[in-house]
Amino acid sequence: MAVKNIAVTDTLETFRTTFNDMAANDFGDIALLSGSISATNLVAAMNETISIATSTAGWTIEDSSSTQQLIGGGDILRVFGTSNEIEAVVSATDTLTIGLPSVVSITTSVTAPTVTGGTIQLTGNTITATDSTAISFASENLITTGTINAGAITGTSITGSGATHTLGTIQISGNTISSTDSSEIDFDDRVRATSFYTNTALGQFFESGGYPRIESNQTGGSGTFGNNLLIMDANLFINQSHAVVFEGDTADANTTTLYAVDPTGTNQLNLPDETGTIISTGSTDAITESMMANDSISSVEMKTLSTLQILNSSGTPLKTIHGAGV
C-alpha cells in the first residue's frame, strides 16, 4: 500500500480523487467487514482483531509496573539473565527456569529476615556461626566507628582510630593509660615491664646485668653525694640473713658488706653528729693523736698498771706517769 500524498499545489480535483481511492482501495469497503467485528472505524477494528487473535493464538506479558507487551502467534519471547545476578534456562518441554548462579553479585542491597552464607548467618543486626561459637576473620582487619561489646576480645593487634579509646573505665590516649572514674588503676595480677619510671622520670626501676636496679636521675644537689638522691620516707627493714652491700668507687668484684650479727635484743647504733671515718676492730693505725683528748685514757683503763713519779728534793711528787706493762 503506497503512501498517499497531497501537495500544496494540487487542485481540489486531485484531492478528491486521491481521497476516494484511499478510502476504496486502502481502507476497504466497510460493508465487507465481518459481522463479528463490532467496530465502526479502522483503528477500533484493528484493536478488536488483535484482541481476538491473542485470545486464541497469542498472549500478553506484563511486569510489576503494569507495562504490557503482546506476544502473538509466531512471536518469540526472549528472557535474558544478568551476569552474576540471575540466569534463565529454557529446556524441554516448554520449560523456562529462572534461578541464581553459584556466584551472585548485587550492586545495592539484599533484605531478608535471615541471610546464610556458608556457616555464617545474619539475622537482624546479629552475626552468628551455624556450626560453632566462633567466627574467624583470618588475617583481615575489623574496622568500626561505633562500639564493640563483647565478653572477651583477643588478637595479636587491636587498633582503633581517634585519639582516645575506652575499655570500661580504663582510658587509653596515645601511650597514656588512665582511669575515667578515679585517680588510680588496680592490677589484680603481676605486672611485668622492661622498666618502671616515676612521674617525671626522676626514678627508675629496671634490670641490668642480671640484677634488679633502682636508679635516681635527680640533679641540682650540692656536695659529693648531692645528686642522684633516692629519698625513702620509711624505716628500712633488712630481712633475716640479708645484708647491705656497697660497691664503692670502682665497679669490680670487691665489695663492703654491712651485716648485723643475730641480735639477742632490740639494739640501736647511733651515728654521731660529725664527719669522720667509722673504726672497727679490724682497723690498724686508724687512731691519730688529734682524735684523743688529754684525759681520754686514765689509769683505770691501763692493764698491768705501772706508775712513775718524779719528786722534788722534799719528796713532793711533781709529775706522775702511768704506763701499761711491767
pLDDT of residue 5: 84
Cβ pair 163, 174 in contact under 8 A: yes
pLDDT of residue 126: 86
Once rounded to an integer, what is the mean pLDDT over residues 57-80? Answer: 80
Taking CA atoms, 203 is separated from 89, 177, 206, 228, in Å, by 80, 19, 10, 9
pLDDT of residue 299: 66
Grid cell locating 197: 619510671
Between 112 and 152, the more confident residue is 112
Closest CA to 99 of 112, 90, 108, 110: 90
**pTM of the complete model beyond 0.85:** no
DSSP string, 81-110: -BTTTBEEEEETTTEEEEE--SS---SS--
Closest CA to 219 of 203, 208, 234: 203
Closest CA to 167 of 175, 177, 156: 177
Residue ranges per structural domain of the chain = 12-71, 78-133, 194-263, 295-326
State yes or no: pLDDT of 320 exceeds 80: yes
* 6-57 tens-digit pLDDT: 888 989 898 888 888 887 777 777 777 776 677 777 778 778 777 766 666 6
Once rounded to an integer, what is the mean pLDDT over residues 71-88? Answer: 80
pLDDT of residue 127: 87
* 260-279 tens-digit pLDDT: 999 999 999 999 999 888 88
Closest CA to 59 of 43, 74, 81: 74
Query: CA 113: distance to chain centroid?
Result: 32
pLDDT of residue 326: 63
| 188 Cβ contact partners less than 8 Å away, ≥ 6 residues apart | none
Amino acid at 65: S
Once rounded to an integer, what is the mean pLDDT over residues 200-211? Answer: 92
Q: Please tell me the distance from the alpha carbon of residue 82 to that of residue 99, in angstroms, as a whole number.
A: 11
Q: How confident is the model at residue 242 (pLDDT cuts 50, 70, 90)?
A: very high
Query: CA 11: distance to chain centroid?
Result: 94
Cβ pair 243, 236 in contact under 8 A: no
| 247 Cβ contact partners less than 8 Å away, ≥ 6 residues apart | 255
State yes or no: pLDDT of 1 exceeds 70: no
DSSP run (H or E) holding 55: helix 42-57
